[in-house]
Structure 1
């Protein structure tokens, strides 16, 4: 049975489920926890996020480079993931285990330190897990299938991490929620790693030296266009998940107990829609499928502006879910093709460097999101849950609809800079 599970799209996707449950709970509710519940000022929250990105700029490419150079009998990626698992649990719990009575600058320092530690360990996990995808699955069709399965698991995780989380922390508190999700992470990530077998050919070639590795990466025009567009689109993913609790309270006027229903409307709808986008991407190819997904995603957030009450929010959430499903499926196929073309030129598979640099570019979306939150908050006078300002409804309608539409329009226009060429010549099979 284990032999059948080796490098299976399903067991590989268990890793996505494992990481995304706690990661989504973090991204959706850390701002709500610190700003709304604990009273941390939005300016200090933005400052902490900025400091993190400076640190992230230094460590993410290095982790990717070190991962590519790792040579063990267990592979290049698995040793890093195994070593990071207990550290991830500790740092995730730390984020939501703020000592009682911590306020002001003490709260800021706790937030900053826990954020830096958590994001550092998360970087190691994401770089190495993401680097496995183009190595394990070769060819556009196997990758489209694996990506669809992976994203279906991701949506289940998003649903758990967003819709179930308010129920858990309302009943048991944020700290116990973090402990429960840490257990989920350990179980499913271990199953994933137990069934992964890295390819021998991927680690036979002598790795490039540091300067040569990054020089080759920086010269790849399609890589930069792809990830720059994705950074704007990825911001929307973060905004939707993190702003919905505020949107539900201030714009739709529904009680906190119904937030889970609203979140479920977005993420439950995505699960069957992932299958639709699998066939779209398989038919159009990675480049065209990705570009179409950005356009559809942009249109899908418009109804969120007009929604009223729980019913209107659910209907708008389902529409947004269709756009989100396309963006979840399409990037993995195109990014893997970019890695393949690089390997053909350099003679070395450098998934780690590409995943790390891509991760830094797209994770800069965190800064875009934080700055958007801060600017819109200033415009409408929102400071925190203790001081929501004169018009919190407008604040969060802009943040969940107008800002995402603008970001996705920018992403789509950037995506058009990738012209027809080698990226439209998919490999066959899973060789």
Structure 2
């Protein structure tokens, strides 16, 4: 058999080995590198650097969030049901990597001579292509995680290198990007990051191995549960609803902080743009050892308990961004925020995998695609929350991109509100949602905390 045939027919039948765990985890680096660069700097690039009106950029980001949200459940449903000799997930990942990287690079390389309206059109078109390819790649990579790693303990260990790779990508995408665009320009930054991402994705494909399944048995169960019924059951699942709302609030909080850092550095701390690097680096460097610590916590408690502690730490620490007058104070606050961020990064997908396990007992199907798709549909709302919050607060405080460093006095207060109060409130709402999360043991698929008997709940939901 050829090498290509062996790669096509490979299947995972036991626990994932170290090489596969590292290879699978490596995909998190380019995913987070691109995602965090986009999240942290695209509003700043188009509004502050290219002088596109902030409200136009906010509107474009809302459109971006809506498109991304709508694509997630569609791609997830197709991925669950589309069987090939290469598997369900791997073909989508392999085909989407190239177009995704090209679209990312072009976001930061608009044609010269465009006015504000032309720049807005360019943004909308290129980001639409980026959205489609990101959903295809990232959703299918995420859907492989619960399949490859099968228990909370196994997932906690398997997710640790994955999140460490992701954190390095976040650090380069948020803290390292200002050094790159400050040295070689925005286009140079995009090209450099694109080349690095391509290399890591090539490595990660070696770790993308699916498990064998009885296709005929699965197809029979799928026929008994049409796509609309699956979607209704997913959003009627109490464990998923409480999880996904909590995730939305926490990720909105993080998105607001990251997008506000360039404004915080320039207009509250009165530092040059490159000072974004130590502030963001403090968050992500603190998250590195925190990921290992939270992995220990979840292996000895449960996803719900660990999430409650992590989100509480994050909410309290983020509120402290109200107070620093200089770089040292902001960096110290970032270290505390990073401990909470490490917990959120490590635990969210472990908890979602638990929801998927619970669903399999009720439906007889592994529906990672639809759950990650539905999750993406909801949490992409964090992009809309971020864009609206940043644009509204900046506008209300009198921010004027043409004024440069000579902003109205109220801008400092508005930026501090964005960095401290709004993220803390959002995280507190997330904590309330996770408190209501009903799966309270480490690996149990159903617990006494449910409102009714699990089997009767499953039957009533499916027949509906």
Tell me, yes or no, whether TM beats 0.5: yes
SS of structure 1 residue aligned to 2:401: coil
Show the counterpart of 1:198: 210
Q: Following superposition of structure 1 onto structure 2, how do residues 7-406 of structure 1 map, counting pairs within 5 Å?
A: 8-201=20-213, 205-206=218-219, 207=222, 208-384=225-401, 386=403, 388-406=407-425
Show the counterpart of 2:454: none
Q: Is the 8 A contact 2:147 2:211 kept in 1?
A: yes
Q: For 1:178 and 1:87, locate their aligned partners in 2 and report how far apart those are by CA, in whole Å.
A: 14
How many Å apart are 1:386 and its aligned residue? 4.5
Q: Is the 8 A contact 1:202 1:349 kept in 2?
A: no
SS of structure 2 residue aligned to 1:307: coil
How many Å apart are 1:118 and its aligned residue? 1.1
How many Å apart are 1:299 and its aligned residue? 0.6
Q: For 2:380 and 2:298, locate their aligned partners in 1 and report how far apart those are by CA, in whole Å.
A: 24
Q: Is the 8 A contact 1:38 1:103 kept in 2?
A: no
Name the Cα RMSD after superposition: 2.1
Structure 1 residue runs of 5 or longer lacking an equivalent are none
How many Å apart are 1:426 and its aligned residue? 7.3
Q: For 1:143 and 1:193, locate their aligned partners in 2 and report how far apart those are by CA, in whole Å.
A: 19
Show the counterpart of 1:412: 431
- CA separation of 1:54 and 1:302: change in aligned 2, threshold 3 A: closer
How many Å apart are 1:345 and its aligned residue? 1.1
How many Å apart are 1:57 and its aligned residue? 3.6
Q: Is the 8 A contact 2:152 2:443 kept in 1?
A: no
- CA separation of 1:202 and 1:264: change in aligned 2, threshold 3 A: farther
Total equivalences in the alignment:
426
Q: For 2:191 and 2:236, locate their aligned partners in 1 and report how far apart those are by CA, in whole Å.
A: 43
- CA separation of 1:390 and 1:121: change in aligned 2, threshold 3 A: same
Q: Is the 8 A contact 1:338 1:423 kept in 2?
A: no
How many Å apart are 1:170 and its aligned residue? 1.2
Q: For 1:381 and 1:311, locate their aligned partners in 2 and report how far apart those are by CA, in whole Å.
A: 27
How many Å apart are 1:271 and its aligned residue? 0.7
How many Å apart are 1:320 and its aligned residue? 1.0
- CA separation of 1:350 and 1:6: change in aligned 2, threshold 3 A: farther
Q: Is the 8 A contact 1:37 1:385 kept in 2?
A: no
Q: For 2:296 and 2:202, locate their aligned partners in 1 and report how far apart those are by CA, in whole Å.
A: 31
Q: Is the 8 A contact 2:96 2:136 kept in 1?
A: yes
Q: Tell me which moved more, 140-149 or 201-210.
A: 201-210
How many Å apart are 1:100 and its aligned residue? 2.0
CA shift digits 1:333-372 (9 cap, x unpaired): 1110100111111111010010011011111111111111
Q: For 1:80 and 1:6, locate their aligned partners in 2 and report how far apart those are by CA, in whole Å.
A: 24
Structure 2 residue runs of 5 or longer lacking an equivalent are 1-6, 447-464
